[in-house]
A and B are shown apart, each in its own frame.
Chain A
Amino acid sequence: MTRQMTGARMVVQALKDQGVDVVFGYPGGAVLPIYDEIFQQNEIQHILVRHEQGAVHAAEGYARATGKPGVVLVTSGPGATNAVTGLTDALMDSIPIIVLTGQVPTFMIGNDAFQEADTVGITRPCTKHNWLVKDTDKLSTVLHEAFHVAMTGRPGPVLVDIPKDVQFASGIYTAPQKGGSRRYQPQIKGDLDAITELVAALETAKRPIFYTGGGVINSGKAASQLLCELVEATGFPVTSTLMGLGAYPASGKSWLGMLGMHGLYEANMAMHGCDLMINIGARFDDRITGRVDAFSPHSTKAHIDIDPSSINKVIRVDIPIVGDVAHVLEDMLKIWKSRGRKTNKEALPKWWAQIEEWRKVDCLKFEQKGSIIKPQHALKRLEELTKGHDRYICTEVGQHQMWAAQYLNFEGPNRWMTSGGLGTMGYGFPASIGVQMAHPDALVINVAGEASWLMNMQEMGTAMQFNLPVKQFILNNERLGMVRQWQELLHGERYSQSWSESLPDFVKLAEAFGAKGILCSDPDDLDDAIMEMINYDGPVIFDCLVAKHENCFPMIPSGKAHNEMLLGDASTKNAIGAKGAVMV
Chain B
Amino acid sequence: MSALQIKKGATSHSAYNLRSTFSDVEERHTLAVVVDNEAGVLARVIGLFSGRGYNIESLTVAEIDHTGHLSRITIVTTGTPQVIEQIKAQLGRIVPVHRVNDLTVEGPSVERELALFKVEGTGDKRVEALRLADIFRANVVDSTLTSFVFEITGAPEKIDAFAELMRPLGLLEVARTGVAALSRGGL
Residues of B in contact, count (CB < 8 Å): 22
For A197, the chain B residues whose CB sits under 8 A away are 1
Interface residue A320 (Cβ < 8 Å from any Cβ of B)? yes
Stretch at the interface among B25-33, B91-99, B144-152: B91-99
Specify which of B21, B40, B98 lies most central, judged by the most chain A CB atoms within 10 Å of its CB: B40
Which residues of B14-30 have CB atoms within 8 Å of chain A's CB atoms?
A: 21-22
For A307, the chain B residues whose CB sits under 8 A away are 89, 93
CA A177 to CA B86, docked complex, whole Å: 33
Given A121-B43, A308-B92, A309-B93, decide whether A318 and B86 contact each other with a Cβ distance below 8 A. Answer: no
Taking residues whose C-beta sits less than 8 angstroms from the other chain, chain A's interface range is 20 to 34
Distance from A69 Cβ to chain B, minimum over Cβ atoms (Å): 16
For A125, the chain B residues whose CB sits under 8 A away are 47, 51
Interface residue B44 (Cβ < 8 Å from any Cβ of A)? yes
Produce 1/0 per residue, A127-152, CB < 8 A to B: 01100100000000000000001000
Produce 1/0 per residue, A314-346, CB < 8 A to B: 001011100000000000000000000000000
Given A121-B43, A124-B47, A316-B22, decide whether A309 and B1 contact each other with a Cβ distance below 8 A. Answer: no
Interface residue B85 (Cβ < 8 Å from any Cβ of A)? yes
Interface residue A579 (Cβ < 8 Å from any Cβ of B)? no
Produce 1/0 per residue, B117-134, CB < 8 A to A: 000000000000000000
Q: Check if A309 sits within 8 Å of B89, measured CB to CB.
A: yes
Q: Check if B43 sits within 8 Å of A316, measured CB to CB.
A: no
Given A125-B47, A197-B1, A311-B89, decide whether A316 and B82 contact each other with a Cβ distance below 8 A. Answer: yes
Q: Check if A128 sits within 8 Å of B40, measured CB to CB.
A: no
Given A183-B98, A307-B93, decide whether A312 and B85 contact each other with a Cβ distance below 8 A. Answer: yes
Interface residue B187 (Cβ < 8 Å from any Cβ of A)? no
For B22, the chain A residues whose CB sits under 8 A away are 316
Q: Check if A149 sits within 8 Å of B95, measured CB to CB.
A: yes
Q: Check if B86 sits within 8 Å of A313, measured CB to CB.
A: yes
A-B contact pairs, 17 of them (CB 8 A): A124-B47, A125-B51, A129-B96, A132-B39, A184-B95, A308-B89, A308-B92, A309-B86, A309-B89, A309-B90, A309-B92, A311-B89, A312-B85, A313-B89, A316-B3, A318-B1, A318-B2
Besides A124-B44, A184-B95, 14 new A-B residue pairs in contact (Cβ under 8 A), listed by A number: A120-B40, A121-B43, A124-B40, A124-B47, A128-B95, A132-B39, A132-B40, A149-B95, A197-B1, A308-B92, A308-B93, A313-B86, A316-B3, A316-B82
